[in-house]
Amino acid sequence: MRALIVEDEVRLAQTLADLLELNGYTCDICHDGEAGLDNALSGIYDVVVLDVMLPKKDGFSVVQELRQEGSSVPVLMLTARSELGDRVEGLDRGADYYLTKPFEPRELLACLRALTRRQGEVQQGDALEFADLTLDRAAFTLSCAGRSVRLSRKEFDMMELLMRSGSMVLTKETLLLKIWGYESEAEDNNVEVYISFLRKKLSHLRSRVRIRTIRMVGYCLEQEGEETP
């Protein structure tokens, strides 16, 4: 899960990032509305945490422009102001949820979990399922029919993206951006290395699921015995 934090109070932004990273998110931080909007439009984030009072462009304008550009990334708005008018304005302009500062970390995490839950996804508590596989977000494990392996952070992120996409092809570029981010020096090679780690783990689990390579494009999941077009 990749989160973008748009918050001009540097210490609060860092506290939020620390909290989210402890809970399994990868975070990027922007300190003003313009940079926040640019980054949010990249399409690589699963959720945006957006302050209202921001330099250059306020949070209301950011969320409004984001929606005008066709982005449907979930947005959780934060503000120190608690007036009802603000909440209504934020929601009217396209925010998904509104939280008033100061907030309880547990409340923030619960909101983010709710916002990032996708439609159609089979979800049981902290687990994501695909075919015979279960990915446990709390324990960082992948299991199949009673066998289970622990995943490293990057393996976990990659497996989660693959399971969410299922038979839809994920490009190497998307994997690179979502897992390593823009700032990173990582290359296609890094993706290949982690795909090979995951393949070993799938084979160890004796899962029917395979990671299929689509040459020059990327990867998708398939189940053994499925027709490959």
Report, in Å, the least distance between residue 80 CB and Ca ion. Answer: 7
30 vs 37: CA distance, rounded Å: 9
Least separation in angstroms between CB 11 and Ca ion = 12
Contact set with Ca ion (CB under 5 A):
8, 51, 53
CB of residue 35 to Ca ion, shortest distance in Å: 14
| Tokens, residue 162 | 């693959």
Least distance CB 32 / Ca ion (angstroms): 10
Cβ at position 16, least distance to Ca ion in Å: 12
Closest residue to Ca ion: CB criterion: 53
Looking at the Cβ atoms of 32 and 222, the one nearer to Ca ion is: 32
Angle among Cα 185, 112, 179 to the nearest 5 degrees reads 15
Q: Are 86 and 52 in contact (CB under 8 A)?
A: yes
- Residue (51 or 86) nearer to Ca ion, CB: 51
Q: Which is nearer to Ca ion, 101 or 164 (CB)?
A: 101
Query: What's the CA gap between 48 and 90, in Å, rounded?
Result: 14
* Cα–Cα nearest to 93, from 70, 60, 122, 119: 60
| Closer residue to Ca ion, CB minimum distance, 95 or 176 | 95
As to burial, measured by CB atoms within 10 angstroms (0-12 exposed, 13-18 middle, 19+ buried), residue 30 is buried
What Rg, from alpha-carbon coordinates, does the chain have?
19
Q: By the 8 A CB rule, do 99 and 111 touch? A: yes
Cβ closer to Ca ion: 79 or 207? 79
